[in-house]
Amino acid sequence: MKVGVVGASGYVGGETLRLLVNHPDVEISMVTSRQHVGEYLHRIQPSLKGFTDLTFSELDYDKLTDKCDVVFTAVPHGTATEIVKALYDRGVKVIDLSADYRLHNQDAYDKWYGWEHPHPDYLEKSVFGVPELHREEIKKAQLVSCPGCMAVTSMLALAPLIKNDLIDTDHIIVDSKIGSSGAGSGSGTAHAMRAGVIRPYKPAKHRHTGEIEQELSEIAGSKIRVSMSPHAVDVVRGILCTNHTFLKKDIEEKELWKIYRQAYGEERFVRLIRDKKGLYKFPDPKFLVGSNFCDIGFDLDEDNNRLIALSASDNLMKGAAGSAIQNMNVMCGFDEMDGLRYTPLTPV
């Protein structure tokens, strides 16, 4: 399978390339960057030294169409709309890592992103790229839009609870902690301002809320509202979502185990973490770095009828490039773990 990557000079593009160079069924045919045309990839992405001699090309739709069966678009939000449409119209399979085709409703872009989508008729052509929720649709898709990192991490923990009608869907609180790489390579955030930080940002109306509400409402068959508040923390990679939910009925721990196992027992990239012994009893992003896993656990607060669903992932992997490769594998009929057979890096 010949693939291309559009916009590969950032963290997400670099991570996508790192996975593709080791994929057994893939040849990277073309990589583009507006700023680095003619430069070797490893000059911008040093980890690729010795793995490829490719250079960055300018964006040329005809060349991409001729050279590539699948194209990943890893450009900033708001700039992918025209690129994705142009490639889609040429019959290329597209996996978009921006937010530009995640939401199904045109009005949602005005609400969550503050701009009017220029191609609303293409929103219905896009499949939301979470194989654990939409595998059959992804198999038949030409356009897959990868989820936001905090969105996929929280919704995987919440989806089984909603599917089984366990929780009050009017009161769901998602408290997310995310590392600095989630801000992108061009954020310019100085180390002096990131070290030792637990900083709330966009504590109300964060744009990933729209994705979570969209997907969970689809599962429930009715409108669900989510209150989400993210925090920047002093790590480079990783997300921990503490999802506060309130039970509609009493439930025992063993019943919750059964529900999560029924949902994810066959899933290759979801691990259930709740250990009675040891220091690491619940999901911890430290033990996910470099992997495509989402770890899910839970705890019960009977005094307040509260179920805390905990989920963790690497924001550059399951939250971005890892999901993109997993989606490609599903679209193209490869083994879902191809290019993703990495255990987490420990220690980091």
315 marked as binding residue = yes
- Cα(232)–Cα(180) distance, rounded to whole angstroms? 7
Spatial contact of 297 and 310, defined as CB atoms under 8 Å apart:
yes
12 marked as binding residue = yes
Cα angle 340, 346, 348; round to 5? 105
- Cα(292)–Cα(290) distance, rounded to whole angstroms? 7
Q: How many residues does the chain have?
A: 348
342 marked as binding residue = no
Spatial contact of 129 and 300, defined as CB atoms under 8 Å apart:
no
Rg for the chain, CA atoms, rounded: 20
Spatial contact of 98 and 71, defined as CB atoms under 8 Å apart:
no
9 marked as binding residue = yes
Q: Is 294 a catalytic residue?
A: no
Spatial contact of 329 and 339, defined as CB atoms under 8 Å apart:
yes
Which of the following is catalytic: 68, 146, 149, 241? 149
210 marked as binding residue = no
- Cα(224)–Cα(327) distance, rounded to whole angstroms? 26
Burial class (CB in 10 A: 0-12, 13-18, 19+), 300: middle
The annotation places the binding site for NADP(+) at 9-12, 315
* Catalytic sites, residue numbers: 149
The annotation places the binding site at 9-12, 315
